[in-house]
Amino acid sequence: MSSTDSPGLWPRLCGDLPPLDVPFLDQEPDGPTRHLALALAYRGDGFLGWQVQPKGPTVQGALEKALTKLCDQPIRVAASGRTDTGVHAWGQVASFATSSTLSLERMRRGLSSLLPPAVWLRALGPVPEGFHARYSAQRKTYHYYLWPQAQGGLFLDGLCWPLRDALDLAPMAQALAGLVGTIDMAAFASAGGDPGESTVRVLHRAEISPVPGGLLEVRLTASGFLRHCVRNLVGSLVQVGQGRMEPSEMARMAQAGKRLHPGPKAPPHGLYLARVFYTRPPT
The one-digit pLDDT tens for each residue of the chain (283 residues) are 443 456 788 888 888 999 999 999 999 999 999 999 999 999 999 999 999 998 899 999 999 999 999 999 999 999 999 999 999 999 999 999 999 999 999 999 999 999 999 999 999 999 999 999 999 999 999 999 999 998 777 678 889 999 999 999 999 999 999 999 999 998 898 876 666 678 999 999 999 999 988 899 999 999 999 989 999 999 999 999 999 999 999 999 888 877 777 778 999 999 999 999 998 655 5
Which CATH number fits the domain that encloses residue 220?
Answer: 3.30.70.660
Check whether residue 151 and residue 241 sit in a common domain.
yes
Q: Which residues pair with 121 in a beta bridge?
A: 40
Interatomic CA distance for residues 43 and 29, integer angstroms: 33
Interatomic CA distance for residues 145 and 162, integer angstroms: 9
Residue 30 inside a domain? The answer is yes
Selection from 42, 57, 50, 110 nearest residue 77 by Cα: 50
Check whether residue 153 and residue 263 sit in a common domain.
yes
For 180, other C-beta atoms within 10 Å of its C-beta total 17
Residue 39 inside a domain? The answer is yes
Residue 11 inside a domain? The answer is no
Interatomic CA distance for residues 159 and 132, integer angstroms: 30
Instruction: Provide the domain count of the chain.
Output: 2
- Residue-level pLDDT at 281: 58
Check whether residue 41 and residue 116 sit in a common domain.
yes
Strands 271-277 and 139-148: antiparallel
Check whether residue 96 and residue 160 sit in a common domain.
no
Which CATH number fits the domain that encloses residue 49?
Answer: 3.30.70.580
Residue 192 burial class via C-beta count within 10 angstroms: exposed 0-12, middle 13-18, buried 19 and up:
exposed
Residue 224 inside a domain? The answer is yes
Q: Which residues pair with 125 in a beta bridge?
A: 37
Check whether residue 145 and residue 171 sit in a common domain.
yes
Residue 3 inside a domain? The answer is no
Beta carbons within 8 Å of 21's beta carbon, 6+ residues apart:
275, 276, 277, 278, 279, 281
- Residue-level pLDDT at 3: 38
Q: Does 45 participate in catalysis according to the annotation?
A: no
Catalytic member of 21, 26, 72, 84: 84
Residue 185 inside a domain? The answer is yes
Beta carbons within 8 Å of 115's beta carbon, 6+ residues apart:
62, 63, 66, 121
Residue 1 inside a domain? The answer is no
Interatomic CA distance for residues 97 and 93, integer angstroms: 14
Residue 165 inside a domain? The answer is yes
Strands 139-148 and 161-163: parallel
SS3 category, 252: helix
- Residue-level pLDDT at 13: 83
